[in-house]
Amino acid sequence: MRLGLIGYGNIATTLLGLLERTGLHPAHLSVLARPGNAPAVRARLAADAAALTRSATVVEDAAGLLRTAPDLVVECASHSAVAAHLPAILRAGVDVVQVSVGAMSDAALEADLRAAATEGGARIVLPAGAVGGIDLLAALAPAGGLEVIYRGSKPPRAWAGTPAEAVLDLDGLTERRVFFQGSAREAARDYPKNANVAATLALAGAGFEVTRVELIADPSAPGNVHSYEVRSPVANYRMEIENLPSAGNAKTSVSTVYSVLREVRNRMEVVAI
Ligand SMILES: NC(=O)c1ccc[n+]([C@@H]2O[C@H](COP(=O)([O-])OP(=O)(O)OC[C@H]3O[C@@H](n4cnc5c(N)ncnc54)[C@H](O)[C@@H]3O)[C@@H](O)[C@H]2O)c1
């Protein structure tokens, strides 16, 4: 497989290590880096991917990435990278694993991406990311009548730099506090850096308006805890996932990278599961 990556941060570099460990060697690897970052990324990639593939390229835009003829592109960069690069890649007929799922909370961008994929005959694959059970939620969705509530809980300091600071004394908090209740659309608008899980649940299940979100600061939280409950006429279930932060970016759970690896493996191996 000829693999393309957009972004060369924590998820991308961890993914390359996991591909090597699982014996999955892309025939070619191309990385789309921010303009200006290409020389630094090229130097890092030469070292990081030496044992993974003999053929690696760094490019600075979607046209450059398309010239490397990728079979699959993994976007692991940012909301702005989704908007800047994915429409052209999808329109060219290349499937994309979009890790920045929260970008889909922007309804106009979601419509653009869907139109580009339809036009190009390409698929947008949204990985489960930091949560699990997405298979069951997506399976239940067509039955209708879904009620989904997601609770995202983190230690107080992990909410620094968000609107939570205006309603909570993060350093003085001694007990669990729910500081946001609203729809997945409102949560993504107010807490865009925490939008990925709510967006994934919304897209798999009941949609952005109906999916409920609670955000919680909890001094006793062991890390980032994602829990959600699903009620439907067909089945009810609840999930709770305690994630470890990844070494390269504490905001990204390491299980997210494994979920991206799963999407790539499912396209490289003969059995997909
Ligand atoms: N789906 C999920 O559950 C989930 C979980 C964690 C992270 N994410 C998302 O995955 C993305 C990457 O996470 P990470 O931990 O690797 O972050 P990171 O900050 O470690 O790496 C991102 C890299 O992408 C690069 N980048 C950003 N915008 C770019 C652009 N327009 N063009 C080219 N490169 C660009 C940055 O320079 C950086 O090197 C983020 O958008 C994050 O929100 C999703």
Domains of the chain: 2-129+254-268 (3.40.50.720), 134-243 (3.30.360.10)
What's the pTM? Answer: 0.96
What is the overall mean pLDDT for the chain? Answer: 95
Gap from CA of 252 to ligand 1 centroid (Å): 9
Residue 161's SS3 state is coil
Q: State residue 247's pLDDT score.
A: 81
Gap from CA of 237 to ligand 1 centroid (Å): 31
Mean pLDDT of 209-222: 96
Atom of ligand 1 nearest to the CA of 246: 15
pLDDT at residue 270 tops 80: yes
Q: Which residue's CA is the nearest one to ligand 1's atom 19? A: 9
| Catalytic residue status for 85 | no
pLDDT at residue 250 tops 80: no
Residue 259's SS3 state is helix
Mutate to test the pocket of ligand 1, among 16, 37, 99 (most ligand atoms within 8 A of CB): 99
Mean pLDDT of 35-48: 95
The owner of tokens 């044992």 is 51
Judging by DSSP bridges, how do beta strands 28-32 and 2-6 pair with one another?
Answer: parallel
Q: What would the two tokens of residue 13 be?
A: 């570099």
Q: Identify the band that residue 254 occupies on the pLDDT scale cut at 50, 70 and 90.
A: confident
Mean pLDDT of 123-150: 97
pLDDT at residue 245 tops 80: no
Least confident of 174-178, 190-194, 234-238: 190-194
Q: State residue 246's pLDDT score.
A: 79
Mean pLDDT of 181-193: 94
Cα–Cα distance measured from residue 177 to residue 168, given in angstroms and rounded to the nearest whole number: 8
Q: Which of 98, 185, 191 has the alpha carbon at shortest distance from 152? A: 191
Mean pLDDT of 54-79: 97
Q: Identify the band that residue 251 occupies on the pLDDT scale cut at 50, 70 and 90.
A: confident
Cα–Cα distance measured from residue 116 to residue 94, given in angstroms and rounded to the nearest whole number: 10
Beta strand extents in the chain (DSSP E only)? 2-6, 28-32, 56-59, 72-75, 95-98, 124-125, 147-154, 177-183, 212-217, 224-231, 236-243
Phi and psi angles of residue 113, each rounded to the nearest 5 degrees, phi first: -65, -40
Gap from CA of 84 to ligand 1 centroid (Å): 14
pLDDT at residue 40 tops 90: yes
Mutate to test the pocket of ligand 1, among 5, 8, 10, 11 (most ligand atoms within 8 A of CB): 11
pLDDT at residue 177 tops 90: yes
Mean pLDDT of 22-26: 95
Q: State residue 249's pLDDT score.
A: 80
69-97 pLDDT, tens per residue? 999 999 999 999 999 999 999 999 999 99
Q: State residue 86's pLDDT score.
A: 98
